[in-house]
Structure 1
Amino acid sequence: MNRKLARELCMKILFEMLMNKEYNIEILDNYLSSDEREDSQGQYVHTVISSSIQHIEEVNGLIKKYAIGWTLDRIAKVDLAILQLAVIEILHMEDIPYNVSINEAVELAKKYSSDESTSFINGILGKFVEKEGIKKHD
């Protein structure tokens, strides 16, 4: 599995958690074998999902803050999962430059959501990094 597929898997897991309204690390058992958990991308998936579970209130609060005029309930679940993934990467994955996280979120939206969602997601994430003073990683 490469990083792009690992990122898609994270988005799908976050989407499932949103739909089931249950954030539980045991969901990884449905998606990753024990061998897959040992490779670098499996570790990435585990880190993203465990960070999401641990920081979900903070992440959702930031999304709500920058999705001006939108409640979390009004945001399409797939878009919310993509936003959660990107915010987790930006806040907690220091080896990933924020512009990569934003670009990959837009690519996921192009594949899994509507045309309007790409600009919506890009706008929220752009405002988030600007207003929070997040710097590019060198």
Structure 2
Amino acid sequence: MAYWLLKSEPDEYGFADLERDRTTVWDGVRNNQAINYIRTMQPGDLALIYHTGKERQIVGTATITTAAYPDPAAPDPATAPPVVDVHVGPRLATPITLATIKADPFFADFALVRQGRLSVVPVSAAQWAYLTTLAESA
């Protein structure tokens, strides 16, 4: 199993929308490195949902339910970017802000900190465990 962080603009499609829909197609990823991460996702992988914009915080979790497949909304299936289906998980009791993450030396190598513009980033098992502990204890 792998762990991921998926960024979303809450005004476009936020965690509340995922809670309402229960499952959604995670689309709109255009950066080549982020697309490569999408291609490696497998059913059962876990994800943190991060709100961008003014919020800049991890707000909930989700489960990847499919392997990557071509975006069915793309006009040309041959060049369609990959997408995955995502199923809602628990909302964090306490969101974890980007400022909290950046202030902690444990996250110095976290892709969220080092590659801030990437919309999909891998999360190590140790980072996942620490982040979920932070969410429970904050």
With structure 2 as the length reference, what TM-score do the two structures score? Answer: 0.29
With structure 1 as the length reference, what TM-score do the two structures score? Answer: 0.29
| Higher relative contact order (CA closer than 8 Å, sequence separation 6+) | 2
- Bigger share in helix: 1
